[in-house]
C-alpha cells in the first residue's frame, strides 16, 4: 500500500471504481435524488463524480482498460485505504486463504503486512523455505526478482511472491540499518506442523508455530505425553509463541481455555456496542496448575497475543521475552459474488483486563532480548583445577575407567537459546521455592 502522500491519485481512481458498481448494478437514481438526508445527498453527488471520472477513463485513457479490472482495483483501493488488514480476495486468493486455515498451502512460509508503504515480515513459519533462508521478523521486502514492490498493494505483493513449486524467487531485504541484500528462496508446498514439543530437565516445552485446526489437539497430546513421561516430577511448562503470526480465533480461544479454569479469555468490540462479544473459559487446566512461562517476541501476533494476554491477565503464566507485534483487530471474511470475498476489519480484540492489543501489543512480565549463549574459553578456576588438589574420594581414579564415549546428541536449544534458558531457569526456581515451602 502506498503512503498517503504518494497514493492519492491512484486511490481516487480505485475508490471511485467501487461507486461504478452502483450505476452498473442498476440502482435507481431517482430514488437517490429524493433522499432527504444531507449526508446522503453528498454521498450521491460523490457517486455521480465517480461516474464522470470512470467514463472519462474508459474513453480517454492512453490504453484500453477492462471494466472488470477497474472495478476490482476500485474495491481493492477502498479496502486498503481503511487499514493494512482489510482486503479484496479474488477467487484464487479466497481459495488460498481457505487452504491456509487447513494447515497446507503453497508459497514461502511467511506472514507479511504493510507498514509505511512497505511489505514487512511479521514472522517466518518454522521449517518453511522462508525460515530456512534466514528471513526474520521485522525484515522489509523491498523488491522481488529485482522489481521494487515499495508502495505496492499487499495482495499484489503476495502474488509476486507466489509461484510454481520448486521455482526460485529472489527477494531484496532491508534489515534495520544494514545495506539491502538479496535472499533467494525456493518455493514449496507449506505443510505446517503447528505443535512441537520437548522435555528439558523435567520441564515440558511446547512450541506453537501457528494456530490452525491441528493446534489444540497437538497441544493437548504434547502435554499429556509430558505427564506420561515425567509423572509427578513434571516441574512446569514453557509455551513458546515466538514468531507465531496467529491464525484461527477459535484455536486461540481453545488454547487459552486449555490452561484456564475460569474467567474471560477475550472480548471484541466493533462499531456497535451491542454487537460486542465476550468469551469465557470452561473448568479444566491440562497443566494441572503447574507453573507456566510463555515466550513472546515481536513476531507473536494476533491469535498469539490473545493467548498471551489471557494467560497474563489471569496470572496463569509469566510472560518472558519482548513486546508482541500488536495486531489486535478482528477480520471477518465475507463471501461476495463471483466466488470472491472481502476481508474486512470489524472489531478490536481486548484482553480480560479490558486493554486493547491493537498497535500496543502485549508487554512481557520479564523483558529478555533475543541472544545466543556462548561458552567462553578460559573461564572460572575451581579447586579441582589447582595443581596438586586432593581427590574428592579415594576411588575417584577408577570412576571413569572403561566407560564408552557418550553418543552424539542433537543440539540442545536450552543451551543456545537465551530466552528459553531464562524461561527454564524461572520454572526451576519456582519449583525449588515450592519444594522449600512445602518442606519436602
Identify the pLDDT of residue 334: 92
Which residues contact residue 25 at a Cβ distance below 8 angstroms, ignoring those fewer than 6 apart?
A: none
Q: What is the CATH number of the domain that holds 131?
A: 2.30.42.10
Same domain, yes or no, for 202 and 185?
no
Residue 98 lies in a domain: no
pLDDT single digits (tens) 48-101: 898 888 899 999 999 999 998 898 888 899 898 999 889 999 888 888 777 666
Residue 178 lies in a domain: yes
In this structure, are 139 and 173 located in the same domain?
yes
Query: CA 43 to CA 325: how far, in whole Å?
Result: 37
Contact present, 268 and 330 (Cβ < 8 Å): yes
391 assigned to some structural domain: no
Number of folded domains in the chain?
A: 3
- Say which of 254, 313, 324, 414 is annotated catalytic: 313
Domain identity same for 181 and 298: no
Do residues 200 and 267 both lie within one domain?
yes
Residue at 224 is within a domain: yes
352 and 204, same structural domain? Answer: yes
> Would you call 327 a catalytic residue per the annotation?
yes
Give the domain CATH number at 240.
3.90.226.10
Comparing 10-14, 71-75, 183-187, the range with the smallest average pLDDT is: 10-14
Tell me: the pLDDT tens digits for 199-246? 999 999 999 999 999 999 999 999 999 999 999 999 999 999 999 999
Query: Which is catalytic among the residues 87, 256, 298, 302?
Result: 302
232 is catalytic: no
Q: Is 360 a catalytic residue?
A: no
pLDDT in tens, 417-438: 999 999 999 999 998 888 887 7
Look at residue 130 and tell me if it is in a domain: yes
- Whether 108 and 224 map to the same domain: the answer is no
Query: Is residue 439 situated within a structural domain?
Result: no
Q: Are residues 229 and 307 located together in one domain of the fold? A: yes
Range of the domain at 173: 104-191
Claim to verify: residue 279 and residue 177 sit in the same structural domain: no
In a domain, 417, yes or no: no
The distance from CA 398 to its chain's CA centroid, rounded to whole angstroms, is 55
Q: Could you read off the pLDDT of 94-152 as tens digits, one per residue?
A: 887 776 666 555 689 898 988 888 999 988 988 899 999 999 999 999 999 999 999 98
Measured over the CA atoms of residue 242, residue 246, residue 250 and residue 251, the dihedral's sign is negative
Q: Kindly state whether residues 207 and 258 are assigned to the same domain.
A: yes
Cell numbers of 275, please? 454487537
Q: Which of 327, 329, 414, 417 is catalytic?
A: 327
Domain presence at residue 74: yes
pTM for the structure as a whole:
0.74
Please give the share of the chain, as a percent, with pLDDT higher than 70: 80
Which of residues 136, 168, 191 is at a domain's end? 191
b/e 342-353 (16+ beta carbons within 10 angstroms → b) = bbbbebbbbbbe
Between the CA of residue 203 and those of 410, 420, 422, what are the distances in Å? 18, 11, 13
pLDDT of residue 326: 95
Query: What nine digits make up the cell of 429?
Result: 526456581
Amino acid at each position: 500500500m502506498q503512503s498517503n502522500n504518494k497514493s492519492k491519485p491512484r486511490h481516487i481512481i480505485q475508490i471511485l471504481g467501487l461507486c461504478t458498481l452502483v450505476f452498473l448494478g442498476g440502482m435507481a437514481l431517482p430514488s437517490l435524488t429524493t433522499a432527504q438526508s444531507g449526508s446522503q445527498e453528498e454521498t450521491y453527488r460523490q457517486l455521480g463524480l465517480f461516474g464522470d471520472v470512470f467514463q472519462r477513463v474508459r474513453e480517454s485513457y492512453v490504453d484500453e482498460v477492462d471494466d472488470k479490472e477497474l472495478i476490482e482495483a476500485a474495491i481493492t483501493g477502498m479496502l486498503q485505504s481503511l487499514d493494512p488488514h482489510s482486503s479484496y480476495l479474488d477467487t484464487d486468493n479466497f481459495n488460498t486463504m481457505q487452504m491456509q486455515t487447513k494447515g497446507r498451502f503453497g508459497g514461502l512460509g511467511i506472514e507479511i503486512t504493510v507498514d509505511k508503504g512497505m511489505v514487512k515480515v511479521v514472522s517466518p513459519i518454522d521449517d518453511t523455505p522462508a525460515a530456512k533462508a534466514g528471513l526474520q521478523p521485522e525484515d522489509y521486502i523491498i523488491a522481488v526478482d529485482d522489481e521494487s514492490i515499495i508502495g505496492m498493494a499487499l495482495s499484489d505483493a503476495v502474488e509476486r511472491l507466489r509461484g510454481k513449486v520448486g521455482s526460485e524467487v529472489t527477494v531484496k531485504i532491508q534489515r534495520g540499518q544494514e545495506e539491502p541484500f538479496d535472499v533467494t528462496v525456493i518455493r514449496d508446498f507449506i505443510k505446517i506442523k503447528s505443535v512441537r514439543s520437548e522435555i528439558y530437565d523435567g520441564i515440558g516445552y511446547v512450541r506453537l508455530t501457528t494456530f490452525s485446526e491441528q493446534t489444540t489437539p497437538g497441544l493437548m497430546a504434547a502435554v499429556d505425553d509430558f505427564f506420561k513421561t515425567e509423572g509427578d516430577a513434571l516441574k512446569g511448562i514453557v509455551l513458546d509463541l515466538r514468531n507465531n503470526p496467529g491464525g484461527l480465533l477459535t484455536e486461540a480461544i481453545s488454547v487459552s481455555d486449555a490452561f484456564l479454569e475460569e474467567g474471560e479469555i477475550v472480548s471484541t468490540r466493533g462499531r456497535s456496542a451491542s454487537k460486542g462479544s465476550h468469551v469465557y473459559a470452561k473448568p479444566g487446566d491440562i497443566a494441572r496448575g503447574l507453573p507456566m512461562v510463555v515466550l513472546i517476541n515481536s513476531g507473536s501476533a494476533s491469535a498469539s497475543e490473545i493467548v498471551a494476554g489471557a494467560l497474563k491477565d489471569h496470572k496463569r503464566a509469566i510472560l518472558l521475552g519482548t513486546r508482541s507485534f500488536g495486531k489486535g483487530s478482528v477480520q471477518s471474511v465475507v463471501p461476495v459474488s463471483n466466488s470472491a470475498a472481502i476481508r474486512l476489519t470489524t472489531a478490536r480484540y481486548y484482553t480480560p483486563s479490558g486493554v486493547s492489543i491493537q498497535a500496543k501489543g502485549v508487554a512481557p512480565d520479564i523483558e529478555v532480548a533475543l541472544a545466543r549463549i556462548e561458552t567462553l574459553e578460559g573461564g572460572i578456576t575451581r579447586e579441582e583445577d589447582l595443581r596438586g588438589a586432593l581427590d574428592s574420594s579415594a576411588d575417584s581414579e577408577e570412576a571413569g575407567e572403561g566407560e564408552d564415549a557418550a553418543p552424539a546428541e542433537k543440539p540442545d536449544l536450552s543451551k543456545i537459546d537465551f530466552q528459553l534458558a531464562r524461561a527454564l531457569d524461572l520454572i526451576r526456581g519456582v519449583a525449588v521455592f515450592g519444594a522449600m515451602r512445602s518442606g519436602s
